[in-house]
Structure 1
């Protein structure tokens, strides 16, 4: 089964949690026809072939980017730029703007997604009072989701097919949890932790070119090791 089909099965079958503490609600973009349809089109265009991808993982999806498009760190404007036409409102999402610049700097979506899987440690949208919520914002929510996160990461590596030599974490605080997951599961030989795109766009936007260049350097370094291992 091709990488795209294994990934589609993983995301569309990822289970909704039982009721969560702190009035947090989860929803799956992959059980909603519009984002599922867009992601299916995207995956079949860009996650082609069967090669292992290097994981590039954020926290959990936001409602206005991945929640609408089905594609991590990709708002409707970026999705259209990658050739996936959509009828969604053309509202920009800062993390998506940043990652669009990174993907462009690395040669465009075909080159980027042929080598990397861009996703999240927890692949479902979390909301509280209608606003985005991070899985680590409350220890009791983290604890409630942790077993499913462990299982999901195992599946991504062992069943979907991620490279094991390295993975990239988006977000310093997210990195604490990714590190803990990796220590518990032993999935990746090396973790590279980068500042989160939203943080960089909110607080370091004037250094956008430098921050994109740092991302590209880190991603190329992790990807090149993979090419050496496969070659």
Structure 2
């Protein structure tokens, strides 16, 4: 029988970027890089080499400094080393969401304990970028314009469907982000992926706008995660 790790590794290493995005919207596919492919294999082999269902924790789409670099959701190169014990030569990157998520991971008991029960992922699995007027690029969300949402909706549907097959506890899913909730609820109404969805404020929002209440949000996250594990 294939393990959660077997299915996840095969999926991420086979991802290809969509070709029908609006002008100015780009996609980062780190899984094309040998170093990232090796990281993905190490990470899932270490934390998911079993057939136990996980509660899914779903973000929007990866950031260009998190999974857009490492291939691991909400995880920068430095946090991959520090908290997951996976050495790598990738350049350290700034990523607010990863900083908060790994405070949650540590509060839950560390990476092994957290990943034994949860699967961090996103509705769309690849990082999106947007060209700026001065020639630079910034993070972009799949819901930031209607054209991008419509173009990616079939891919989002298939991405969530496929990831559920890794081994999801479909009784509940955790949604990260209040706006993301709108789209996950729409998807769930269409597809019936999860029995219920609970929503938490997005890590980036917390650190960018609510950092003075960090401990309160951390407690809320931990409480919600334990509630999701409780039998109905």
Is TM-score (shorter-chain normalized) higher than 0.5?
A: yes
Contact kept in structure 1, 2:55 and 2:228, CA below 8 Å: yes
Gaps of 5+ in 1: none
**Matched residue of 1:176: which SS?**
helix
User: Is this contact kept in 1: 2:60–2:142, CA < 8 A?
Assistant: yes
Matches within 5 A, 1:76-115: 76-81=77-82, 82-115=84-117
Which residue of the partner structure matches residue 75 of structure 2? Answer: 74
User: Could you report, residue by residue, the CA deviation over 1:19-72 in whole angstroms, capped at 9, with x for unpaired residues?
Assistant: 311321113222222222212111111112111111001000111111111111
Q: CA RMSD in A?
A: 1.2
Report the structure, 1 or 2, having the larger helix content: 1
8 Å CA contact 2:42–2:86 kept in 1: the answer is yes
Partner of 2:14: 13
Structure 1 outlier segments of 4+, above 4 Å: none
Give the structure-2-normalised TM-score.
Answer: 0.93
Residue 76 of structure 1 contacts residue 92 of structure 1 at CA under 8 Å; is this kept in 2? Answer: no
Residue 35 of structure 1 pairs with residue 36 of structure 2: yes
Q: Does 2:171 match 1:165?
A: yes
Say which of 154, 158, 161 aligns to 2:161: 154
Whether the 8 Å contact between 1:10 and 1:160 is mirrored in structure 2 is: no
Secondary structure of residue in 1 paired with 2:104? helix
> Counterpart of 1:146 in 2: which secondary structure?
helix
- The unaligned stretches of length 5 or more in structure 2 are 132-136
SS at 1:92's partner residue?
A: coil
Contact 2:65 2:76 in 1 (8 A): yes
What residue number does 1:145 align with?
Answer: 152
Check the 8 A contact 1:77/1:92 in 2, yes or no. no
Shift of 1:155: 1.4
> Pairwise mapping of residues 125-204 of structure 1 onto structure 2 (< 5 A)?
125-129=127-131, 130-157=137-164, 159-204=165-210
SS at match of 1:63: coil
Q: Distance in 2 between matches of 1:117 and 1:24?
A: 27
SS of the residue aligned with 1:188?
Answer: coil
Give the count of matched residue pairs. Answer: 225
- Cα drift, residue 15 of structure 1: 3.3
Cα deviation, residue 87, structure 1: 1.5
* Counterpart-to-counterpart distance in 1, 2:68 and 2:38: 12
- Alpha-carbon distance in structure 1 between the residues aligned to 2:115 and 2:180: 22
Instruction: Give 3-state SS (helix, strand or coil) of 1:43's partner.
Output: helix
3-state SS of the aligned residue for 2:23? helix
Alpha-carbon contact 2:56-2:173 (below 8 Å) kept: yes
